Amino acid sequence: MTFLLDWAGPVIYTSLAIAALYGVFTVILLLRKIKEKGFSSDTAAAEFLDQIHEHLAQRDFDGAAALCDSPPYWAKAVPQLIIVALANKERPLNKLRRMLAEKFERDVLADLEYRHSWIGTIVKTAPMLGLLGTVSGMILAFAKIATSQQTGTDPSALADDISLALLTTAMGLTVAIPLVLLGAMVQVRIGKLQDSVQQHVGEFLDDLEATNTV
């Protein structure tokens, strides 16, 4: 048992380090994907929608689709949804809105939420790993106390062991607390992306409806 507890410390420290690195990696990855799926600014979105409006005004649906599939836009959510809308432009507007909403949720939001859930998992796991390190360290310290009369254990050495055991809990919280804040920031940006996509797709659908009624 003591042998396992002696090895628990390095394993727990390594696990905490891996959890911290993976959490930071996930945050960076999510921020990059959110930036990739959205426009850099409202001005950039407005310029794109103005170009789409010009194509629709000329009933140049192929030109609008080609613009959406051009290098500056092909990774962004709104242009890709517009391509789907143009391919199904004969459908009733309410069905088209529902189809685009489902596609956005399935292809973009689901992936972002799945990756974001890993941040929550790390936030919950890191303090538990720290607590496990503290408990295992305290068990070892009390085991030394129990045999101190036979082994002549130095009390200062016991204090060092207890201090080291408590350090794992502090490390677990040190990993979890920043990730809570970063996870909240990512969630806010996901919400902003969702709002902007709904707004811009709605503007396009209004233009498409006006084109179809001409």
- pLDDT tens string 116-146: 999 999 999 999 988 888 888 787 777 777 6
Q: State pTM to two decimals.
A: 0.84
What's residue 211's pLDDT? 82
Domain boundaries, the chain: 2-213
State the average pLDDT over residues 172-177.
Answer: 93
Pick 112 or 168 by higher pLDDT: 112
Q: What is the pLDDT of residue 214?
A: 54
Contact 119, 20 (CB under 8 A): no
HSE at residue 15, side-chain half, CA atoms within 13 A, is 19
Helix axes 93-104, 155-213, angle to 10 degrees: 160
Report CA Rg, the chain: 27
Residue with the larger pLDDT of the pair 154 and 212: 212
pLDDT in tens, 29-85: 999 999 999 998 999 999 999 999 999 999 999 999 999 999 999 999 999 999 999
pLDDT > 90? residue 167:
no
Range picked from 10-19, 116-125, 142-151 for highest mean pLDDT:
116-125
